[in-house]
Amino acid sequence: MNTASGLAALLCAVAFIGWMWRIRDNGLALSGARPRYAGMWVYLGWIVPVVNLWFPRGIIADAYLAGAPGARLPRSLNVWWGLWLIAMVGGAGLIYTDSTDKVIARAYDDLWQLLVADAAVVGAAVAGILMVRAVTAVQEKAG
């Protein structure tokens, strides 16, 4: 089951980054303006420490605004990003520190951290779906 869920997560990540690349290119075509972030940041923005706290959201926000200049960003974008950050901070603290025994003990002792991180992941997924639909719709309408 762990391998299957890891494979599913990888496929989702590849599909999402591919979507980000396409909306970035669409934003360039729609606005004619050079994107704020170079193309390599579509990928590197997720893995380079510190910049991964705002580059992915910025790429998506720029692509949305290219299709709807002057419009307000969809609320789902900020909800998605906020919940994603909560999930990463909450989940990483529980999963990636200490030995396996200490991680298991922490899951029993501090269950609320695990539940908050899991709830944030689910919320981020729902908000992410709404955000993808909003950005895609505004670009389709503008194109």
pLDDT digits (tens, 9 = 90+) for 128-140: 999 999 999 999 9
- Residue pair 55/41 in contact (Cβ under 8 Å)? The answer is yes
Closest-CA residue to 58 (of 31, 14, 27, 93): 27
CA–CA dist 48, 134 (Å, integer): 27
Most confident by average pLDDT, 3-7, 44-48, 94-98, 116-120: 44-48
pLDDT digits (tens, 9 = 90+) for 16-38: 999 999 999 999 999 988 889 98
Q: Average per-residue pLDDT in the chain?
A: 88
At residue 104, the pLDDT reads 74
pLDDT digits (tens, 9 = 90+) for 74-112: 999 999 999 999 888 876 554 555 677 776 777 777 778
SS (H, E, C) the chain: CHHHHHHHHHHHHHHHHHHHHHHHHHHHHHHCCCCCCCCCHHHHCCCCCCHHHCHHHHHHHHHHHHHCCCCCCCHHHHHHHHHHHHHHHHHHHHHCCCCHHHHHHHHHHCHHHHHHHHHHHHHHHHHHHHHHHHHHHHHHHHC
Alpha carbon 59 to its chain's center? 11
- Residue pair 24/64 in contact (Cβ under 8 Å)? The answer is no
What value does the mean pLDDT take over residues 56-83?
96
